[in-house]
């Protein structure tokens, strides 16, 4: 009987892509494994998961922390989702369940605990989110992207293993294959759904960066695409240039990482893991309203390793206004020795085999358990 595994998460690409990387590795290691992905019906997970060729089931789950009066219907949807997840688990009978964080993972993980199916979690960030913090007390295995702080572990050390953050195989290879000769190419992105503040900062710098001859690749997010594309046109970029630079979403990130030398971006865990494995240094602008300010903690770890620069959003906005940020980016891109040192720092935090390591942990858990026992 083939091993059956459920993966669960959703909401953003930062949660979804690591899960898909693990699914890819599971299939490579256990070709007959049956994998089911359970996520929310309101996020991008259905499209991304089905595009990857993985079976998907959606739940009507919504986040409720910090939503005020909207938390009441969201709590109702969470209860409904737990009940639906229990029915799915009873029918699918997995050997193991693994969650990758986010509110969309909670119903399935909690249902697996109620039904006594063995579960594991992966925590991407330096500071764990609410769902993983709670489920970490119930999970049999906890895979970590960052070392836990000495004396203040968020998870039981005996159940935890440092794996790194899983990334897709094509990106994981880039640190070994990427051309080290700089092409003065800047990648701008705010995560899979974009970031209005990062886009606005970039728009302010366009005249200076265009004058400096910097090559740009800009992932805007779907909602900001038209606004950003119009700003490029107003700055003098032709329609053809704009079409080659500005994208709402980039599916083939490996090819983009392969040609870029520096990134300007948020400090989400998955973006950082991909940039580290590709050996791309970055100027990180953490999302200031992230839970527990975990993006700042992520970016600080990279800055301490020498692979990036941490810029709080307010400071970045001021520097974009007065021209200092465009000068900083241009100076870095023009300094081959500095780029090489930062590339080395980024690679020092890379875990290119993280997906395989997490898959091994999950398979070991699954092989020791008969469904429903």
Q: Which domains does the chain have, with CATH numbers?
A: 4-167+352-367 (3.40.50.2000), 171-348 (3.40.50.2000)
User: Cβ(88)–Cβ(38) under 8 Å?
Assistant: yes
Q: How far apart are CA 226 and CA 248, in angstroms?
A: 9
Within its chain, how far is the Cα of 340 from the centroid? 25
Q: In what order do the strands lie in the sheet with 141-144?
A: 55-59, 34-40, 4-8, 96-99, 119-123, 141-144, 160-162
* Distance between CA atoms of residues 103 and 116, nearest Å: 20
| Each residue's pLDDT tens digit, 209-233 | 999 999 999 999 989 999 999 999 9
Residue with the two structure tokens 């602008």: 285
Closest CA to 63 of 51, 71, 55, 53: 71
| Cα–Cα dist 363/310, whole Å | 37
pLDDT at position 90, please?
A: 97
pLDDT tops 60 at residue 177: no
* Encoded tokens for 57: 């089931």
Residues pairing with 161 in the sheet: 143
Place of tokens 């998460």: 9
Per-residue model confidence as pLDDT tens digits over 278-308: 999 999 999 998 877 889 989 999 999 999 9
Task: Provide the 8-state DSSP code for 145.
Answer: S
pLDDT for res 43: 85
H/E segment holding residue 219: strand 215-219
> Facing residues of 328 across strands?
none
Opening angle at CA 136, ends 139 and 95, nearest 5: 20
How long a stretch of residues is the chain?
373
Task: Report angle CA 155, 11, 162 to the nearest 5 degrees.
Answer: 30
Strand 4-8 to 96-99 pairing? parallel
**Cα–Cα distance, 16 to 7 (Å, whole number):** 10
**What is the DSSP code (8-state) at residue 119?**
E
Confidence of residue 94 (pLDDT cuts 50, 70, 90): very high
What is the share, in percent, of the chain residues with pLDDT greater than 70? 93
Nearest to 110 by CA among 137, 142, 92, 71: 137
Q: What is the mean pLDDT of residues 329-334?
A: 98
Q: In this model, does residue 64 exceed pLDDT 70?
A: no
- Tell me the whole-structure pTM to 2 decimals: 0.81
pLDDT at res. 316: 98
Helix H or strand E encompassing 221: none
Evaluate the CA torsion angle 113, 269, 302, 310 in order and state its sign.
negative
What average pLDDT is seen over the chain? 91
Burial 178-189, CB ≥16 within 10 A → b, else e: beeebebbbbbb
Report the distance separating Cα 41 and Cα 39, nearest Å. 7
pLDDT tier at 265, thresholds 50, 70, 90: very high
User: CA-CA distance, 344 to 247, in Å (whole number)?
Assistant: 29
Q: What is the mean pLDDT of the segment spanning 168-172?
A: 86
Q: Which two tokens stand for residue 147?
A: 């070392």
Q: Packing angle between helix 336-348 and helix 269-278, nearest 10 degrees?
A: 120
What whole-number distance in Å separates Cα of residue 347 and Cα of residue 324?
A: 27
Mean pLDDT score, 88-101: 96
> b/e string for 256-266 if b means 16 or more Cβ within 10 A?
bbbebbbbbbb
Q: How far apart are CA 366 and CA 294, in angstroms?
A: 31
CA-CA distance, 321 to 126, in Å (whole number)? Answer: 31
Between these two residues, 31 and 195, which has the higher pLDDT value?
31
């Amino acid at each position: 009987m083939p091993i059956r595994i459920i993966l669960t998460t959703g909401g953003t690409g930062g949660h979804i892509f690591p899960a898909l990387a693990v699914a890819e590795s599971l299939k490579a290691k256990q070709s007959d494994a049956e994998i089911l992905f359970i996520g929310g019906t309101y996020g991008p997970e259905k499209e991304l998961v089905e595009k990857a060729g993985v079976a998907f089931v959606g739940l009507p789950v919504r986040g409720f922390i910090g939503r005020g009066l909207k938390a009441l219907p969201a709590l109702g949807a969470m209860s409904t989702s737990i009940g639906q997840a229990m029915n799915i688990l009873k029918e699918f009978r997995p050997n193991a369940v693994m969650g990758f964080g986010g509110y969309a993972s909670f119903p399935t993980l909690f249902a697996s605990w109620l039904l006594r199916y063995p579960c594991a979690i992966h925590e991407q960030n330096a500071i764990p989110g609410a769902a993983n913090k709670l489920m970490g007390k119930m999970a049999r295995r906890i895979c970590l992207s960052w070392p836990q702080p000495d004396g203040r572990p968020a998870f039981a050390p005996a159940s935890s293993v440092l794996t790194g953050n899983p990334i897709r195989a094509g990106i994981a290879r880039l640190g070994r294959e990427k051309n080290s000769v700089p092409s003065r190419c800047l990648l701008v992105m705010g995560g899979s759904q974009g970031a209005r503040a990062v886009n606005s900062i970039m728009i302010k710098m366009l005249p200076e960066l265009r004058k400096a001859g910097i090559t740009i690749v800009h992932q805007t997010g779907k909602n900001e695409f038209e606004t950003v594309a119009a700003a490029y046109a107003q700055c003098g970029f032709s329609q053809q240039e704009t079409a080659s630079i500005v994208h709402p979403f980039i599916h083939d990130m490996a090819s983009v990482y392969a040609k870029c030398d520096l990134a300007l971006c948020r400090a989400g865990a998955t973006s950082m893991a991909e940039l580290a494995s590709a050996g791309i240094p970055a100027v990180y602008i953490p999302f200031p309203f992230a839970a527990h300010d975990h993006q700042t903690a992520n970016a600080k770890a990279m800055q301490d390793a020498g692979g990036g620069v941490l810029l709080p959003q307010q400071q970045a906005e001021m520097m974009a206004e007065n021209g200092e940020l465009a000068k900083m980016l241009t100076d870095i891109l023009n300094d081959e020795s500095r780029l090489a040192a930062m590339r080395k720092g980024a690679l020092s935090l890379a875990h290119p085999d993280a997906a395989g390591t997490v898959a091994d942990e999950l398979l070991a858990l699954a092989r020791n358990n008969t469904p429903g026992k």
